[in-house]
C-alpha cells in the first residue's frame, strides 16, 4: 500500500497539500522514535534489533537507486561536498555546507585517523570523506573504493582538480597527491610499513 502511494506521489497524482500532511506526520513519528532511541532502553532495543537483521539488505535496489543515477542529479540537490549519508547541524543557524564539513570532521575524529596512516575507504560515495581526508592528512595514502563508473568518474575529476595522487582501476598510477580511486572490487596493496586505518561507508 505504501509503495503504491509513493508511486502515485512521484507521478504527480497526489496533491502537494496532502503530500505535505503526510511528510509532517512521518516527521513527527521519526522525532518520537529518535527521542526514544536516545534513552537507555531505546539504545538497547536498537542494538537487539540490529543483531537480528542481515548485514546488508536490498543491495540490488540500492545500486539502482543511488549508484546508477548521474552525478549531476546529486550536484543539484546536495551540498557542495556532495555528502549524502548524513550531516551534523551544530546549531539552528548551521547551513548545509557547514553541517557537511562538521560531520566529515566528526567522522575523522571518531576513526582516530592520524597523518601518515594508510587509509582504506570502502564505499566512498561521491568522495566527500575521501577529499576531506586527503586535505587533512597530506602524508597519508588513501585508497577509496567506488562501486560504479559515475561515482568514480566524478571523484576522479575532483581529485585532478585538487592535484591529488591517483591510482585508478588495476593500479595505473598518475602524477600528483595521495588519493587512490579503485573501481569495483579491486583494491590493490597499500604501502607497507605504515599504520593502517579504515573509514568505511561514511559518504
At residue 125, the pLDDT reads: 76
CATH 3.40.50.150 intervals, the chain: 106-198
Task: Give dist(CA 203, CA 192) in Å, integer.
Answer: 26
Give backbone dihedrals phi and psi of 16, rounded to 5 degrees, phi first: -55, -35
CA 38 distance to own-chain centroid: 23
At residue 68, the pLDDT reads: 66
* C-alpha closest to that of 157 among 54, 82, 65, 45: 82
Count helices and strands (H / E) in the chain: 8, 6
Q: Is the pTM of this model over 0.75?
A: no
Kindly report, residue by residue over 106-132, the tens digit of the pLDDT: 999 999 999 988 888 877 777 889 888
What mean pLDDT do residues 123-151 have? 79
**Residue position matching grid coordinates 521519526:** 30
Cβ neighbors of 63 (< 8 A, separation 6 or more) are 147, 148
* C-alpha closest to that of 203 among 100, 59, 94: 100
**Domain 106-198 carries which CATH code?**
3.40.50.150
Task: Give dist(CA 17, CA 7) in Å, integer.
Answer: 17
Q: 94 has which bridge partners?
A: none
Task: Give dist(CA 111, CA 103) in Å, integer.
Answer: 12
Q: Measured over all CA atoms, what is the biggest interatomic distance in the chain, rounded to whole angstroms?
A: 61
Kindly report, residue by residue over 78-108, the tens digit of the pLDDT: 888 888 888 999 998 999 999 999 999 999 9
Lowest mean pLDDT among 70-84, 119-133, 159-173: 159-173
Kindly report, residue by residue over 14-51, the tens digit of the pLDDT: 899 999 999 999 999 999 999 999 999 999 998 999 89
Amino acid at each position: 500500500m505504501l509503495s503504491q502511494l509513493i508511486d502515485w506521489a512521484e507521478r504527480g497524482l497526489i496533491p502537494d497539500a496532502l503530500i505535505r500532511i503526510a511528510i509532517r506526520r512521518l516527521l513527527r513519528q521519526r522525532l518520537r522514535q529518535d527521542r526514544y532511541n536516545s534513552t537507555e532502553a531505546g539504545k538497547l532495543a536498537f542494538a537487539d534489533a540490529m543483531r537480528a537483521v542481515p548485514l546488508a539488505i536490498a543491495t540490488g535496489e540500492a545500486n539502482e537507486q543511488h549508484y546508477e543515477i548521474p552525478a549531476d542529479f546529486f550536484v543539484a540537490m546536495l551540498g557542495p561536498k556532495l555528502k549524502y549519508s548524513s550531516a551534523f547541524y551544530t546549531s539552528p543557524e548551521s547551513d548545509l555546507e557547514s553541517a557537511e564539513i562538521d560531520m566529515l570532521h566528526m567522522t575523522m575524529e571518531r576513526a582516530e585517523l592520524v597523518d601518515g596512516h594508510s587509509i582504506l575507504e570502502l564505499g566512498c560515495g561521491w568522495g566527500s570523506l575521501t577529499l576531506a581526508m586527503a586535505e587533512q592528512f597530506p602524508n597519508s595514502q588513501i585508497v577509496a573504493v567506488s562501486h560504479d563508473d559515475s561515482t568514480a568518474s566524478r571523484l576522479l575529476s575532483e581529485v585532478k582538480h585538487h592535484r591529488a595522487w591517483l591510482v585508478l582501476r588495476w593500479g595505473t598510477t598518475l602524477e600528483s597527491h595521495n588519493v587512490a580511486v579503485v573501481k569495483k572490487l579491486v583494491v590493490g596493496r597499500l604501502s607497507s610499513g605504515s599504520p593502517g586505518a579504515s573509514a568505511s561507508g561514511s559518504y
